[in-house]
Amino acid sequence: MLRKNRLFTPGPTPILPAAQTAMASFAMHHRTAEFRDLFSRVLADLREFIGTKNDVLVLSSSGTGAMEGSVSNLTSPGDKVLVLSAGKFGERWRDLAQAFGCAVEMVTAPYGETFSLDEVRRKLTPGVRAVFVQATESSTGARHDVEGIARLVRAMGDDTLLIVDAITGLGTTHFDVDGWGIDVIIGGSQKALMIPPGLAYCAISERAWKRMETTSSPRYYFDFRKERKAAAKGEAAFTPATSLFAALAAALDFVRDMGNDDIAAGREALVNNAELAAEMTRAGAQALGMKLFAASSPAAALTAIQSPPGIDSGAMVKEFRESFAAVVANGQGEMRGKLFRIAHLGYYDYLDTIGILAALEHVLASVTGKAVEYGAAVRAAQEVYARQMSLRTSVSV
């Protein structure tokens, strides 16, 4: 059959058509009134999308740029920091903090699992200057309890900052950023916001801005205070990825439309969309006898599915691509070959979700050479969908 190329990877994700069009016709210079309008509108819309009153910055970099900036702006060499790590992105926090000379304490959980809040509480001793965590660990498909972690950090008072990599969490997870007291929350353009890679964004609390007055780690391109000053005038400190701002504005308009002219409501709808797609996918995979990698605390951003015993997940990834032009992600690092990941964040709908599960049935049959009950995954997903729709109808009546 004809094959349409489709991304099911947890970044980059499929691009919103309206964002693509906005980029294609874009020709503004970044030091003009026209661009300052666009820039300021994007920042205001992002604040609503994140759900915060804090100042928001947009950086021209991939998500890791905002992670690095959080470390370099908020710490000084020798600072004691606590990294909560249960996957490759948690390890990135550790590596970044070490690169800037922090004294790194760790709370770890095995890949596919999440932390015990008791252990977090034990390690959260006075003198810990900052806590770094992922909202959703994209390498394993696990969700971490940001609300519970935030409660523990806030109980330490204003001397401990909480920095959350929500690069796949924003748009897939419900947060109360200001209510929970998250000091920095980070997102990336190529995830739930449905545009290409190249922009990182973050919301920064007053507590964190204050910390920056005393920290001494080296920083230059990712100097948050410099960016804040420029942003107040509708500009970026350096040349921003201008056409991506046009794409971002279009994506935020799309979210606003999803919420009937309300970005916060649109964000909730986007989160619910990811949650439903994830639940359908989990049910579908399990109906085929497959095991989830992060079964105890699954994220809505993506689902990591274990490869059947004796099968390299690379063979499944390859078969998805060759038979259906569907790009799913292999495991990262030590998880390579053991699992594959299907994304739900951003621009995915019912047909995408049903389609990838139908493809999974064929991929499984062809890679294992064993009989698969066709329709089993699709049926399980249909039941999840039907149940959800009837729930929604009964709620709205």
Ligand X SMILES: *Cc1c(COP(=O)(O)O)cnc(C)c1O
Contact 343, 11 (CB under 8 A): yes
Applying the rule CB under 6 A, the residues between 176 and 235 that interact with ligand X are 188
Query: What distance in Å separates the CA atoms of residue 28 and residue 383, rounded to the nearest whole number?
Result: 48
Residue of 70, 75, 114, 138 that binds ligand X (CB under 6 A): 138
> Do 120 and 107 meet the contact criterion of CB atoms below 8 Å apart?
yes
By the rule CB under 6 A, 134 interacts with ligand X: yes
**CA distances (Å), 309 to each of 96, 112, 281, 291, 322, in order?**
35, 17, 20, 10, 22
Q: Among residues 63 and 346, whose Cβ is nearest to ligand X?
A: 63
Distance in Å, CB of 224 to ligand X, minimum: 17
- How many chain residues touch ligand X (CB under 6 A)? 12
Minimal distance in Å, beta carbon 298 to ligand X? 15
Which tokens go with 356? 């990838």
Give the Cα separation of 262 and 255 in Å (integer): 8
Distances in Å between the alpha carbon of 377 and those of 264, 344, 354, 383, 389?
A: 33, 16, 9, 10, 18
What is the distance between the alpha carbons of residues 45 and 40, in angstroms, rounded to a whole number?
9
Does the protein bind ligand X through residue 141 (CB under 6 A)? no
Residue 69 within binding range of ligand X, rule CB under 6 A: no
Q: Tokens 């309300």 — which residue? A: 262
330 binds ligand X, rule: CB under 6 A: no
Q: Binding segment for ligand X among 27-35, 39-47, 59-67, 218-226 (CB under 6 A)?
A: 59-67
Nearer to ligand X, 63 or 284 (CB): 63
Q: Minimum distance from CB of 11 to ligand X (Å)?
A: 4
Q: CB of 292: closest distance to ligand X in angstroms?
A: 18
Residues 78-107 that bind ligand X (CB under 6 A): 89
Interface with ligand X includes 9 (CB under 6 A)?
no
Interface with ligand X (CB under 6 A), residue from 62, 108, 272, 323: 62
Residues 6+ apart with CB under 8 A from 165: 63, 67, 89, 93, 132, 133, 134, 135, 186
Binding interface with ligand X (CB under 6 A): 10-11, 62-64, 89, 134, 138, 165, 167-168, 188
